[in-house]
Amino acid sequence: MNNEQELKEMVKEKYGAIAQQSKEQNRSSCCGSGSGCSNVEFSIMAQDYTKLPGYVPDADLALGCGLPTEFAQIKSGDTVVDLGSGAGNDCFIARSIAGDAGHVIGIDMTEAMIAKAKVNAEKLGFKNVEFRLGDIDNMPVEANTADVVVSNCVMNLVPNKLKAFAEAFRIIKSGGHFSISDIVLQGELPEDLRKEAALYAGCISGAVQKEEYLRIIRAAGFTNLTIQKDRKIDIPDEILSQFLSIDQMQNYKKSYVGIFSITIYAEKP
């Protein structure tokens, strides 16, 4: 399947189903993939949000791969846009920093996620957090709106990443910036291992090489790129052992080849 619209529909269907699941179900279903997983009952991607100010348990579906809001340099009064906002987790963290004077906009292409996020916002009584249905490669946001853009493990799911980053560039004010956590590859994983890892954690299936990812960001016009966090994802031994010998497993773990979660900062001149 290589048609962009077909890929979008597949992602939309998958994440629509995830919106109906609990955080615990998502953790045990491998980034929400729902099938083809081992019985390792934890997410190999997600990080712990629970200690961050503004954390809302009902908005945390354990689908991210980083903590972009922690690095986003949001200030009081900022307008923040979250790309692929899901149930609102990063939006509510961002709102706790931007404060009552700020404005937070979540964009998601999945109706069920938008509905879930709106319910969460209504329960909290937030008037300056809104959620809009739309694609992040064609956002329902005016140009030069955002002081800060954040996103968590979403850009890798977009078929046309350059178009998505160009849209991010369009909506950010001059002098504004983004902080985005995402999944990238470094080096070549054995083909069978990569296929199995994609089943185990469906959110890596659209990942590209790290250098290609950075090239796309620069091509969209962003400058002053900084990698704020770089974390190798640990693939469980029970998966590695199906494809690698004990020696190969040890070498893989020590190498710079693998699946990485990176958090990247970049500015719009």
In angstroms, what is the C-alpha Rg of the chain? 18
| Number of folded domains that form the chain | 1
Domain range for residue 85?
A: 4-21+53-267
Flag whether 135 is in a domain: yes
Query: What does the pLDDT read at residue 50?
Result: 87
Cα–Cα distance measured from residue 257 to residue 185, given in angstroms and rounded to the nearest whole number: 8
Q: Between 47 and 16, where is the model more confident? A: 47
Identity of the residue numbered 11: V
- Asked which of 130-134, 255-259, 265-269 is least confident by mean pLDDT, the reply is 255-259
Q: How is the beta sheet containing 172-186 ordered, strand by strand? A: 129-133, 103-108, 79-83, 146-152, 172-186, 258-267, 223-232
Flag whether 41 is in a domain: no
Flag whether 108 is in a domain: yes
DSSP letter, residue 209: B
Flag whether 35 is in a domain: no
Query: What does the pLDDT read at residue 7?
Result: 60
- Asked which of 83-97, 139-153, 218-232, 233-247 is least confident by mean pLDDT, the reply is 233-247
Say whether pLDDT at 166 is over 70.
yes
**pTM of the entire structure?**
0.84
**126 three-class SS:** coil
Flag whether 37 is in a domain: no
DSSP letter, residue 39: S
29, 11 Cβ separation under 8 angstroms:
no
Residue by residue, DSSP assigns 45-112 as S----TTSTT--GGG--S--SS-HHHHS---TT-EEEEES-TTSHHHHHHHHHH-TT-EEEEEES-HH
Flag whether 70 is in a domain: yes
Residue 267 to residues 36, 139, 151, 173, 177, Cα–Cα distance (Å): 39, 19, 15, 10, 4
Flag whether 171 is in a domain: yes
Mean pLDDT of the chain: 84
Over range 245-253, report the average pLDDT.
Answer: 83
Query: What does the pLDDT read at residue 240?
Result: 79
CA dihedral of 148, 151, 156, 161, whole degrees rounded to 10: -30
Say whether pLDDT at 106 is over 90.
yes
Flag whether 169 is in a domain: yes
| Structure tokens that stand for 269 in this block | 């001149």
Q: 146: domain CATH number? A: 3.40.50.150
Q: How do the residues of the chain divide into helix, strand and coil, expressed in percent and rounded to 5? A: 40, 25, 40
Query: What does the pLDDT read at residue 65?
Result: 87
